[in-house]
Amino acid sequence: MLLSMRPDPSKAQLISPNEENRYEVTHDDVPLSCPMPGMHLWNSHPRVYLPIEASGTAKCPYCGAVYVLKGFAAAA
């Protein structure tokens, strides 16, 4: 019997939400939500989507975490 060698997503290392006050994110993280995918959800607030594309920064209204978009260049 051949078993799949793909990693089990249920055993992935998850990030604890609301641990940091500031997170740097990339365009790959857009659309941005807090908590982000890959964070534990059981001990966090409801997921909220944050508009980060226009200003390069966003602040979560629930936990106050600030997200900064790496490589953001404001339009001139």
Determine the Cα–Cα distance for residues 64 and 48; give it in Å rounded to an integer.
Answer: 12
Which pTM does this prediction carry?
0.69
Residue 16's contacts (CB-CB under 8 Å, 6 or more residues apart) are: 39, 40, 43
Provide DSSP, 24-64: EE-GGGPSEEESPTTB--TTSPPPEEE--TTTSEEE-TTT-
Q: At 4, is the pLDDT very low, low, confident or very high (cuts 50, 70, 90)?
A: very low
Q: In angstroms, rounded to a whole number, what is the distance separating the alpha carbons of residues 60 and 57?
A: 10
Q: How much is the average pLDDT of 49-66?
A: 94
pLDDT over 70 (residue 65): yes
